[in-house]
Structure 1
Amino acid sequence: MLKIEYRIQSEIRVALQEILERYMLIGSKLRQEVNGIIEEAKETEFCSCINQYQTLSFDIGCINCLRKRVINLLCHKGLKATLCVSKWKHTKNYPAGSHEYIEVMASTQGRKKQIPLVIELEFRDQFEIAKACDEYMKLVDKLPLCYVGKTEYLNPIVGVMCDAAKRSMEEKKLHMGPWRKRSFMQMKWSSTSERRSLNDEPSRQLLHQSCSKSSKPAAAGIISKRKLDNSC
């Protein structure tokens, strides 16, 4: 039994490593540029919230304000950056919820058409589990703090990590909440459609809701929103 478990853990590690290696090879130049912009954003007074709150990766202010600041800087650098909001309704399988991330249109070598890339500022945080087993935590440590890349690599990473999370919860004899399941996690980075300028009144209201206690909405960039009717 222990040999089988060790083999499965080894297969999960190898699968994740292979996906991450492919991810790192594609778009490395743009990823380096975006990471530089993220660091630049963190060095500015980006947070306009009355009540700032912290995340696991960022202890310098509100992640929602940082996200909007990054979008502003990306747009200033000439990139087409979008704030995407995925929303899903309550079902018998999942609680209602929403998630924000950034999408940037990028040119790739050999292609005339630009492709959308996902920027998730809290990527590693999405997989943190308080009482996870050591093997799972080692996998989490391999993940990039921020994800900058195609959904082509994001979805397989989510799949591997959710499978590993399930095994970790089983080992600890803990219940796995529906928000830890693969189908739920992948809803966070669903494709989006409707786009509105941040200067539009509906967008200003959306920003205020997404960043509670916010006093100053971001002044540049684009916002994209879609409500997902997830019945799976």
Structure 2
Amino acid sequence: MAVDSFLIRLATDVAKAAADMSSLRSSRSEFQRAVVFRLREEGYDVAICQTSWLATQDVAAGNYEYIDVVGMVHGKATTTSCTPGERYIVDLGFTTDFAVARPTAAYALVLEALPRVLVARANVVRKVVKVAGKEARRSLKDQGLTVPPWRKKQFMAAKWFSPHRRMADTATGHHAPVVASGNAMRRTVGFVLGPPVQPWLRYYAL
């Protein structure tokens, strides 16, 4: 299967932006917007994406934000294997969405395999969320704990795959840059960089 060179470049640029803005991590909103601004400077079609959903019999109401990147890098004459208009999801705190009380040893390995900062195609994210969410619920049940509403399958999927909109304040680029400083915090990003991950996770990265 062809290497997605767009994904590799995007993951590299996300890593650089996240490291440069690491002092803002305590504020998820500011951190995300600072990273979006840096990516836009590199020519990406990028914005904060907000999902929201109403309560149903099986799902509690909620909303969520992540970074949405579309298509190819504008102004860069390089060949990539991505499809123009394809969505890529960047989540700067991905592992926190799968934390559970008293994780089993097996689930601890799953958490270790998940990237703190996720950079992936939307279809890959859907598969990873499905598998990791299932393992999270299994861990809770194995420990004799009740699965809370925010760990149920429908709720987890709703975070990234409910109806969404790109936030105008980040899509237009008409805002001042955020300046941050601090020690670089380079982490494994996505599924294509850094040390090897668990085999099942690598499979879903293809």
Q: TM-score, normalised to structure 1's length?
A: 0.64
Match of 1:86 among 43, 51, 55: 51
Give the structure 2 partner of residue 178 of structure 1: 149
Residue 148 of structure 1: SS of its match in structure 2? strand
Q: Which runs of 4+ in 1 moved over 3 A?
A: 191-196
Paired residues of 2:17 and 2:38 also in contact (CA < 8 A): yes
* Aligned positions, number: 167
CA deviations on 1:166-200 (whole Å, 9 max, x unpaired) are 22112111111121122211111126564453189
What is the aligned-residue identity percentage?
24
Distance of 2:61 and 2:43 partners within structure 1: 35
Inter-CA distance 172–110: structure 2 relative to 1 (3 Å threshold): closer
Cα deviation, residue 82, structure 1: 1.1
Taking the TM superposition and a 5 Å limit, the aligned residue runs for 1:12-161 are: 26=4, 27-43=7-23, 46=24, 58=25, 61-107=26-72, 109-110=80-81, 113-161=84-132
* Two-structure CA RMSD over aligned residues (Å): 2.7
Cα deviation, residue 219, structure 1: 2.0
Distance of 2:109 and 2:147 partners within structure 1: 19
Distance of 1:29 and 1:101 partners within structure 2: 19
Cα deviation, residue 114, structure 1: 3.4
Cα deviation, residue 123, structure 1: 0.5
Paired residues of 1:84 and 1:192 also in contact (CA < 8 A): no
Does 1:166 pair with 2:137? yes
Residue 84 of structure 2: SS of its match in structure 1? coil
Inter-CA distance 105–64: structure 2 relative to 1 (3 Å threshold): same
Greater shift, 75-84 or 104-113, is seen at: 104-113
Cα deviation, residue 106, structure 1: 3.7
Paired residues of 2:50 and 2:164 also in contact (CA < 8 A): no
Higher radius of gyration, 1 or 2: 1
Paired residues of 2:95 and 2:114 also in contact (CA < 8 A): yes
Cα deviation, residue 101, structure 1: 0.4
Inter-CA distance 199–28: structure 2 relative to 1 (3 Å threshold): closer
